[in-house]
Amino acid sequence: MKSIALLLGLVLLTPACGLVEAAGDITVGEGQVPRLTFDLQWPKVDDLVADAIAQTRAGQAAGSIPGMPNSFSSATLAHLQGLMAIDGECHRVLNQPKVANKSGQLKDLHVEVVDCGHEGRCTDLCGDFRGMKLGARVSFALLDEKNSAQIREVLANTSADAIVQIRMNFYQLQFYQVEGDKNINVTPFFKDFQFGVAVPGGKDTPVVQAEYLNTIRPTDPQRFEIPSGSDTVQKIKQAVVAGKPVWVEVYLRMQVAQRDLYTVRLGGGGIKIDLQPEFVVSAVKAIKGQL
């Protein structure tokens, strides 16, 4: 009976303008589920291609990279591509177990860079594309033990089907780089973008595609549903009903065309992400399961 009272309490706390919707569905989100806000910074060029940089500084490949700056902290993707060409590596990976962020619990940052500038290199990853492909993956705590227990309290003795939607309400999803004392929006240079989620060991599930990037603004947040039939949603539901903490992997995939490589720098750049996870619960299903 306690959990039914909690559920009815959520209905009563819903604003009056949403009473019709609340009679069937209740959104558990802001104030009940932690909001995730973080700045996913690109790794330093030195960390990606330290061996190639050592060769260049030793003079073995001097002059082979046009316009190479004295400091690699300001190197562009074009310079990174040139450095990768020095040692013949077209695919670089960097793993960072600890991740600094504003809020939310993050760990295990994984970054990949693929040089697709020359025909015949990394053909399995590049296909006919010419430029640089980038990918990032990081794990975050969607629900900690306390939050998961609160939702489970509402769903006690009912099935995972009572959770009818899992959504992400985005306030910001933007590529930037620092120039002087300003953050410059460089989102238009990143093409074929995909933001998605997965549970550890599960399949990747796309959530946001490139065409929606420019619609997301702090003053006009946009909601995106994680596809309800996906392996990701099913496993999250099962964990929530069991009252377990939920860790989710966020991944980003994108590419920068060859003509834009000198425009985009890794040093001082990154991706700003601000999202509010939301669980939509069917009041009818939840209450029936507790009777």
CA–CA separation, 32 vs 240, rounded Å?
14
Q: What is the pLDDT of residues 112-149, one digit of tens each?
A: 999 999 888 889 999 999 999 999 999 988 888 888 77
* 3-state class (DSSP) for residue 19: helix
CA–CA dist 174, 186 (Å, integer): 8
Q: What pLDDT is stored for residue 171 in this prediction?
A: 96
**19: pLDDT strictly greater than 60:** no
Separation CA 211–CA 254 (nearest Å)? 13
Q: Roughly how many angstroms between the first and final C-alpha of the chain, as a whole number? A: 9
What pLDDT, in 10s, does the model give residues 131-141? Answer: 999 999 999 88
Given a cut of 90, is residue 239 above it in pLDDT? no
pLDDT at residue 52 in the model:
58
Candidate from 19-33, 57-71, 207-221, 262-276 with smallest mean pLDDT: 57-71
pLDDT tops 90 at residue 207: yes
DSSP string for residues in 219-263? TB-EEEE--TTSHHHHHHHHHHHTT--EEEEEEEEEEEEGGGTTT
pTM: 0.81
Taking CB atoms within 8 Å and a gap of at least 24, the contacts of 213-217 are 213/173, 213/174, 213/187, 214/187, 216/170, 216/171, 216/172, 216/173, 216/174, 217/171, 217/172
Which residue has better confidence, 179 or 87? Answer: 179
Token pair, residue 36, equals 């995730």
Q: Which residues pair with 176 in a beta bridge?
A: 185, 270
For 231-267, letters b (16+ CB in 10 Å) and e give ebbebbbebbbebebbbbbbbbbbbbbeebbeebbbb
Least confident piece of the model among 58-67, 83-92, 147-156, 175-184:
58-67
Cβ atoms 94, 47 nearer than 8 A: yes
DSSP classification of residue 44: P
202/204 Cα distance (integer angstroms): 7
pLDDT band at 188; cut points 50, 70, 90: very high
As a whole number, the mean pLDDT across the chain is 80
* Cα–Cα nearest to 86, from 113, 69, 62: 62
**Residue 29 identity (one-letter amino acid):** G
Annotated domain spans of the chain: 28-45+90-281
Residues paired with residue 177 on neighbouring β-strands, in sequence order: 184, 269
User: In DSSP terms, which residues pair with 136 in a beta bridge?
Assistant: 111, 252
**What are the structure tokens assigned to 112, written together?**
């990949």
- What are 225's strand-pairing partners? 167
**pLDDT band, residue 54 (cuts 50/70/90):** low
> For residues 138 and 107, what is the distance between their CA atoms, to the nearest angstrom?
6
Place of tokens 């990606």: 48
